[in-house]
Amino acid sequence: MKKLYLLIIVSLVVLQSTAQLKKFTVEIPNTPKFKISDSIQSFTLLNRSITPEFSNFNSDSLQISFYKQNFRVTQTILDSIAADTTIKVLGELLFESERFDVVIPVDRNIYRLLPFAQTPEPLSWNYVESICEQFKTDALIVLENQAMHTNTNYKTQHEFIDFSREKTYLASVNFKSRTHWRIYDPKKKQIIVDHQKNEDSLYWESYEYDLRTTFRKLPSIKEAAIQTAVQNAVSFSDLIAPSWVEETRYYFVLDDTLIDKSVTLASDGNWKAAYENWKPYADQGKSVKKSKIMFNLALAAEMNGDLDLAIEWAKKSKDAYYREVSNYYINQLNKRKSEIKK
């Protein structure tokens, strides 16, 4: 995993003349629904959703066609730009997660003759292997199918406002979509993710006293399709890429040059070396001091990705000398462990 934790010291609390408790902020990864093996560090992204039924709709022409139907339309929208947007945005999201490298080929569309309502059979492994070899990636993500359906509505009514009868205008746009994704692992010759979903609806509504203002506040049909495509990419990215949330963590500075060498190592991101430097001191000195070293070891274990070891050290710290911060940290660690199991 390329991104571990971002360390920012934000405050300092002096507990004793010989020890300080420092508070800082870390970015903790939320484990996605589909855990991708660490052996997969890079993806090629391809689009297999475009059929002969798709078009690159002209935004103005599409909008006018809805106006001509009095904006009361129920229609399937198969827009090639929206489909391509899903691939581009997914690539950006996966790359920005700092978990994966991503290649989006210039020729990224796998055209097919099947109707849009049908998902094709999986790609052959010879094809998957050739694509991953060509672009030097570990696995292949394919948008196998994507279709959008919109329902628009428009109505006028009269309301009494300030003792006068005023005409009001109400218009709405509702977009639904269906996506089907597959992730192919050429080394194992296995489809590691096969995910089909009816995505959550996107809904826009505008209510005004002026007709032009009413529609000006709504996205165009083309824009709504592209925003739906973006949402589809976000939804799938959340399933396979870790997200990051900020949490507070603490550690002790002992005002001992040898012991506090770990602080410098940790600030450089070398938590393994920090752990090894702290460890010998966990058995030295009084219980008050040892408990602080044990607390630091718990933090280092967590930063190194070993939650069980972190919980073990945090409990030892609490048993050696009770502090509320130890109890608080144990609860944080147990919560993280529970979320990962889910």
CA distances from 274 to 19, 25, 58, 297, 312 (A): 18, 18, 59, 8, 17
Percent of the chain with pLDDT over 70: 93
Q: What is the pLDDT of residue 55?
A: 96
Q: What is the pLDDT of residue 178?
A: 95
Across the range 196-214, mean pLDDT stands at 93
How far apart CA 52 and CA 116 sit, in angstroms, is 9
Please, are residues 87 and 108 in contact by the beta-carbon 8 Å criterion?
A: yes
pLDDT over 50 at 13, yes or no: no
How far apart CA 220 and CA 173 sit, in angstroms, is 9
Tokens of 7: 């360390």
How far apart CA 313 and CA 309 sit, in angstroms, is 6
pLDDT tens figures, 244-300: 788 899 999 998 999 999 999 998 889 999 999 999 999 988 999 999 999 999 999
Q: Name the residue type at position 167.
A: K
How far apart CA 13 and CA 38 sit, in angstroms, is 38
How far apart CA 164 and CA 63 sit, in angstroms, is 33
Beta strands in the chain (DSSP E): 8-16, 19-30, 42-47, 73-77, 101-103, 139-161, 164-185, 190-208, 243-253
Please, which pLDDT band fits residue 337 given cuts at 50, 70 and 90?
A: confident
Query: For the CA atoms of the chain, what is the radius of gyration?
Result: 28
pLDDT tens figures, 21-34: 998 888 887 778 89
Q: What is the pLDDT of residue 4?
A: 40
**Please, what is the average pLDDT of the chain?**
90
pLDDT tens figures, 63-91: 999 999 999 999 999 999 999 999 999 99
How far apart CA 254 and CA 293 sit, in angstroms, is 9
How far apart CA 173 and CA 165 sit, in angstroms, is 27
pLDDT tens figures, 223-251: 999 999 999 999 999 999 988 788 899 99
Across the range 180-187, mean pLDDT stands at 98
Please, are residues 31 and 242 in contact by the beta-carbon 8 Å criterion?
A: yes
Q: Which residues contact 112 (CB under 8 A, 6 or more apart)?
A: 48, 50, 51, 120
Q: Name the residue type at position 141.
A: I
pTM of structure:
0.73
Please, which pLDDT band fits residue 1 given cuts at 50, 70 and 90?
A: very low
Q: Closest by alpha carbon to 152, among 174, 182, 123?
A: 174
How far apart CA 151 and CA 170 sit, in angstroms, is 14
CA distances from 44 to 47, 85, 121, 190, 230 (A): 10, 15, 19, 16, 19
Q: What is the pLDDT of residue 125?
A: 98
Q: Closest by alpha carbon to 18, among 288, 208, 217, 207?
A: 288
Q: What is the pLDDT of residue 15?
A: 38
Beta bridge partners of 316: none
Q: What is the pLDDT of residue 157?
A: 87
How far apart CA 91 and CA 85 sit, in angstroms, is 10
How far apart CA 227 and CA 202 sit, in angstroms, is 8
β-strands 139-161, 190-208: how paired? unpaired
